Structure 1
Amino acid sequence: MGAQVRFEARTWQVSGLVDGRVYLAADDGATGCVLAAHLVAADGFELLDQAAPQIPAAAVWAALALPARERAMAWLRHIREVETGLPGGPGSSGVPRPEYDPHAFTLAEREHAKARELAGLGWTKVSRPTVQRMRLAYQRQGLLGLVDKRSLRASCPTGRTDERVVSAVLEALRQRRGRRATTVKQVIDLAEQIVAQTHGPGRVTLPARSSLYRLVRALSDPAEPPGSPARTATSPDRAAGPPALRPAERVHVATARLSIEVVGEDGRPAAVSVTCALDGATGCVLAAVLHPQQAVAPGVHRLVPGP
C-alpha cells in the first residue's frame, strides 16, 4: 500500500489491495483497477524504489471507502510536487516541471500553480488556501491528513472507544459466532473477561454499558447479529455459568440418532447413533464415535467438566 509503480507508461500509486486486485491512482486524479497477476507480468512494469508514504493505522485505512483512499493518494503526489518539485518526493528521478521548480518559484507561487492545475483537471472547490491546508495537514498527520474528514467519520463505527476494548469485542464475537444463539449481553460479558485476562483487572477503563451495546451492534456481522439463532447451531445450549475461554475448560458431549442404517457384522441392517465431544471454547470436535442406537433421546446433552 502506498508503493509507486510504473504501468502502461505511467506512474501510479497503489491505493488498495482487494482479493487479488490492485487499485491505482495517478497524479492527475485518474484511477484504475487491475489484477495483481496481470500487473506484475505486464511489459514495462516496474516497482519504483521510493519511500512509501506514512500509512495510517491499518484498521482506520481499511475502513475507508475506496474513493476516499484514492483521493488521498492523488493528493499525496500533488502535495509532494508542490513541496519538492517532483510528485515522487525527495530522491525520486526526473526534472521538475517549470512552474514547480523550487529554485525559480516560491512555495506560495507553487501552491497557486497547483490550484490552477487542479481546477483545470476538473477538481472542484480547489484554491491556493485549499492546497496550503492540505499540505499542512499532511505534515501534521501524514496520509490520514489528506482524507476527507466526512469519509473518516462515516467509516469509523467504533468512535473514540479504546482499541483494546474494540479488539476484545471482536474476539468475543468471533468466539460466539456459529455456535449458538447469542445475546448482546453475553458478548459484552465475554469481552469484559477477555479485557481483564489480557490486560489485567481494572487496567482498562470500559465504556458505559449503553456504549458497549452500541459497539457490539456496530461490529457484529449483519448476517448473524446477536440475538438471532446461529446458522450452524443444531440445538440450544443448556450449559450453565460463564462461557468457556480456554480449550478443554468445558467439553460438550451429545448423542444423536442418524436417519440411515448400516450393515452390522452379522450382515443385518442396524440403526446407529453418533456421539461427539465438542470443545466449548474452540468449537473443535475432539472425538466422534459411531455406535448402535441406544435409548438416548436425540440431541440430549450432558456436560463433562474439563481439567
Structure 2
Amino acid sequence: MTAGGGSVLRPGDWVTFDDGEHQVVALAGTAVRLRSAAGTESAVLASYLMAAPDFAVTGAEPLPEMEPFGLLETLPEPARAAAAEWQRHVVEVETGLPPGAEPGTPARDEYDPATRSLTERMRAKAAELAVSLRTVEGKRSRYLKQGLWGLVDQRTTRRWEATGRADARLVAAIREVLDRETNVSTGTRSRLIRRVIKTVEAAHGEGVVPLPSTRTLYKLIDALATGRHAFGSAVTRRQTANRPEGPFTPTFADRPGEQVQIDSTPLDVMVILDSGVTARADLTIAVDVATRTICAATLRPVGTKAVDASLLLARMLVPEPMRPGWSASLRMAASRMPHRQMLGIDARMEQVAAKPVIVPDTVVIDGGKVFISDTFLRACERLGISVQRARPRTPTDKAIVEATFSAINTLFAQHLAGYTGRDVTRRGERVEQAAVWTIPELQDLLEEWLLAGWQMRPHDALRDPFRPGKAMSPNDKYASLVAAAGYLPLVLRGQDYLELLPVAWRAINDYGIRIGHRTYDAPELGPWRRQHSGHTAKKGLWEVHYDPYDLARVFVRTTGGWITTPWVHLPLVNAPFADFTWDHARRLAAAAGLDDANEADVARVLDALLTRAENGPDIRTARVIGRTRTAAALPAPAAAPEIENTPDPEPDSAPSEVVPFGVFDAHAEAERWL
C-alpha cells in the first residue's frame, strides 16, 4: 500500500514475517501488534519487523532499489550523459514535465497526464525519439525499479578482465606455474614463459593451445603476477603466499596481562661473544597486547634454550630494579603509573624502574622447541598461566610481537655499532669489525632503552577513546587500564622467582657447595655444613637453585629459608658470566696446560677471556698471526746445487739428452696440488 508516493503499513495489511502470514491488528507508537493465521497475537517493534529478512507486505509493490551511486561515478562521461538524457524523457512520460521544470510550466499536449493515457504518452515519446514503443516501455520499467542505473547502457559496465581474450587453458597454466614459483629462487619472465609453454604442451599437447606473441605473453604474465612478487624478493614472495586467505582479525585485550605474546628472533646487531668471535644474538621478548608493554627482553647467544623462556617468564613477574647510572626520571615514582598503590602492596616498588609488572593470564607462543619444552610449560602451569599455541607457519596469530621486533630494529638496533641491516642487501662493509658490544653490555643498553625509549614513547596503536587523535605511551595506557579494571595484580615474590630457576642437589661441606667445578660458600651456611637435608629421596643433599646466565651466586634452600651464596673466586672475575662461558674457559685452561679442575686457574682464564671480549678481538694481530701460519705451512724451496768450476765439454763430445717442457695445464696442476 502506498500513500503520497511512499510505501506504508496500515492496520489490516497482511505481512510475511517469521516464516508465516500475519495481519496487522494495531499500531501503537513504535510497536506493531500482529495476529497470525492461527489466531496467535504478538507485539514486535516496527524496526525489528521491517528488518526481518523475510518481511514483505502482501499485495504491495516492492520497494524501489537504491541507485549504486558509487558505480555511477565509474562510468564514462558519454554513458552518464546518455542515461541522464533518457531520465529526462522517462520523467516527462511519467509526470508530463521534464525534471527541473519551472513551477507553472504547462505540459506539452502529447504528454499531459490529464488528457493522455500512459500508453499514448509512451507512443508519443517513441515517435519523438524514433524508437520502438517496447524500448520506451523497457526504459520506464527499469527506471522505476533501479533509478538512473537502469537507464545506463550495460555494455559500458562490463568489468575489465586482466587476461583479455587469452585462452583460458593458457591462463590456467600461467597461474599454475606462478604457484610453483613460490618456494624456488627468483627467475626472469623468459624462464617463466618457457615453463608455461612446457606445462601447456604437457597438459594439452603441442600446438593445441594457441599461444600469443612474446610481447602479449609478457603483458599477460605481468597482469597475473600482480601482488605475487614473482620476480622480486623470494622472502617477500614466500611471506605473501603464507598469509591467511581470510580477513585479518585484530587482537584485542581490555586489561593488562589478558594476552601476552612471546617470541624469539636474531637481533640485527653483531655482538662480541665470550670467545672473542662476533655473531648475532637471539632476542626473546614478551609483549602485552593491551598496553604494548615489553614485559621482559633477554639477549642470549644464538641457540636460545628452554631455560631462557622460563627465566624470561620469571623476569616478567618481578619489578625491574634501577641500575647505577640510570636517570632518576626512569623511576616509577617519577611516572604516571599508580606507584603509591603498588608501594602499599610491595615495598620493592620504592626503588624500581618505571615499567609495569604484568602478570599474564594467557601467553601466545609458536611451535619452537624453546616454548613447548616441559620446563616452560611447567613454569606456566605453576603460575596459573594458560598457554595458547599459534598455528604453524602463521605469524599473524602473534602479529603484535612480530611487529614489535621490527620496531626494536628501527628505533634501537639501527643506532648501535655493528648494525647489520635486516638482510644482506642492506648490510654495510666489514660490519663484524664494527662490533664493540658484548651481550651483557648490550642487555643493559636494551633495558635502559626499553624504559626511556619504549615505555614512555607514544604508540600509534594506543589511543585514548575520548581523544582518538592522541596516542598514548605504554605506561600511560597501563595506568588508564588499571584504573578501569579496578585492581592491581600481585607481582611475583622473591622466593617465587627462585622457584623458577634450575635446581641442582648438592651437599654442604666445610668448604661450601661444589657445582660444575665451582665452589660457593657463605658464612650463613655454617649451621648446615655436613648435615642431612632431610630429603631421603635425594640422599640428604640440599636443594640449590642457580641462574645459568649468572653463575656468580647460587641460592640454597634451608630449613631457615633461602641463603644467597656467592662464588668464592668472584673477586677474580670483573664481569658476569654464564655456564657456556665457564665451560669455554675450562677448555682454554686445558689447552694452555693448566688444570681445568683448579678453580683459581680457570677463574684467571675466565677473567682474561671476559676482558678480551670486552675490548674486542685484535683484528690486526689475528691477521698477522694468520699470515705467519700460512707462510710457515708453505713448503720451503729446494736448495740450489753447487756449481762446480769444471771446464766446458769438448765440442765433439756427444750431446746430453734434451728433456722438452710440456704444455702447462691449469686444471691438471690444480688436481695435482689437491
TM-score by length of 2: 0.19
Higher relative contact order (CA 8 A, sep 6+): 1
TM-score by length of 1: 0.38
User: Based on CA coordinates, which of the two structures has the bigger radius of gyration?
Assistant: 2
Greater per-residue helix proportion: 2
